[in-house]
Amino acid sequence: MSPAQNRVSLPSIFRAFFLLGLTAFGMAILQKLKELVRQDGWLTEEEMNDGLAMVQLYPGPIMVDFTAYTGYKLRGVAGAFMAILGFVIPTTILVLVLSAAYFRYGSLPWVQSFIVGLEALVVGIVLHVTLDLGKRAIKGPLEALIMLAAFAGLASRINAVWVVMLALMVGAVFIRPRPEQVPGKTPSAGSEARGGWPGILLATFITLMVAGGCAVLSSDIGRMALSFFKIGSVAFGNGMTILPLVQADAVDTFHWLSPHQFVDGIAISQITPGPFLVIATFIGYKLGGVGAALLATFAIFAPSFVMTLVFTEVYGRIQNLTFVRGALSGVLAGFVGMLAMIVVQLGRVGIVGAASLTLALAAFVAVRWFKVDILWVFAGGLVIWGGLLALGGV
């Protein structure tokens, strides 16, 4: 372990990731994460690359899990906790403020007219994310078949979790990554981990205790928390891949949100810095105010936090297991199909005329071909939409 790692204090870790969570938006988060861990020699290039490879092998948002990995490599479980806490706090506060404003003023006629444009922008951006994930995940006929089956399964209202598990099992049994996809070296991730099994067991115990407490609550808040514990335990990839699972529970099964509110929650999660999964915070606030929002935030992040700690210790032993990588390929292909179904459903909600369709297509073109940052797409799109409303063009 480098001397730089030995002298990194817990407050330093918290402060660095707090600033990151306050200023990084969208895909720029990953680049800023890389810059952060390189500074002052926090991690070597090999450790960074091993960590980025590792966090793709188990459920959870990649950027959040890489944050936990970095903290764990620096200062064990305490470092991982401080890194995650710093990263998540800024966006959680912002989402709480925006959620309070939305649920208080969102029913006003002029606000609803403005939100129509916001929803159209979401449709264009989610379409881009779906195609981008598809380009990376659909590598052959079997992946394409899994994608189509997942699309059909979600369209047929089969439980989204069963769709994910089936894709994972098919991938584990039948998909074998090409040789160049499997690293040929033994990584440092895990080999220099901090040996924090007592802390890992404590984090696991706390997570299970909170989940157990929620299970005995016969209320929407308890069911909501259990839903997010479940989603956080099975959703792979980036934050957007959780959308089918969130919609399945929050909109279709329990009706915590209307379809319009779901689209608006996606927008709020996109326009705030930090991790996308704070859509859980939005839903929690809708059901029970600040307390439920914080519980939802904990529930969505806790499972993959614990898995990151475990995988950092054992990664060197499992990284070359072909069935692990096959399972990952299968489940990501399934998420492409599920996201495609979500695009169809969002389009039914967010596209209400020629003007909103044009705005959605403009957002899609801006992010896909001109690589405009999502924050600027929202800002520019809403300015254009506001101008059209003022001129009576919509």
- Residue found by looking up tokens 């080999």 in the block: 191
- Residue found by looking up tokens 């959308």 in the block: 243
- Residue found by looking up tokens 């002298």 in the block: 7
Q: Angle 288-290-291 (CA atoms, 0-180°, nearest 5)?
A: 70
pLDDT in tens, 155-209: 998 988 899 899 999 999 999 876 444 444 444 444 344 558 899 999 999 999 9
pLDDT in tens, 284-313: 999 999 999 999 999 999 999 999 999 999
pLDDT in tens, 124-145: 999 998 998 899 889 999 999 9
**What DSSP element (H or E) covers 73?**
helix 62-105
Kindly indicate the confidence band of residue 153, based on its pLDDT and cuts at 50, 70 and 90.
very high
pLDDT in tens, 46-77: 888 888 888 888 888 888 999 999 999 999 99
Whether the predicted pLDDT of 336 surpasses 80:
yes
Could you tell me which residue, 267 or 315, shows the higher pLDDT? 267
pLDDT in tens, 79-117: 999 999 999 999 999 999 999 999 999 888 888 888 999
Q: Structural domain of residue 193, as residue ranges?
A: 3-391
pLDDT of residue 195: 54
Please report, as a single letter, which amino acid is at residue 283.
I
Phi-psi region of 238 (alpha: psi -120 to 50; beta: other; left: phi over 0): beta
pLDDT of residue 188: 44
Whether the predicted pLDDT of 218 surpasses 70:
yes
Number of domain units in the chain: 1
Tell me the pLDDT of the chain averaged across its residues. Answer: 87
d(CA 4, CA 19): 20
3-state helix, strand, coil in the chain (%, to 5): 80, 0, 20
- CA end-to-end span of the chain: 61
pLDDT of residue 318: 73
Q: In the predicted model, what is the mean pLDDT of residues 232-249?
A: 85
pLDDT of residue 184: 41
d(CA 240, CA 64): 13
Whether the predicted pLDDT of 26 surpasses 50:
yes
CB atoms under 10 Å from CB of 296, counted, come to 29
pTM across the whole model: 0.87
pLDDT of residue 157: 87
pLDDT of residue 182: 42
CA 293 from chain center: how many Å? Answer: 17
Task: Output the DSSP codes for 112-178.
Answer: HHHHHHHHHHHHHHHHHHHHHHHHHH--SHHHHHHHHHHHHHHHTT--HHHHHHHHHHHHHHH----
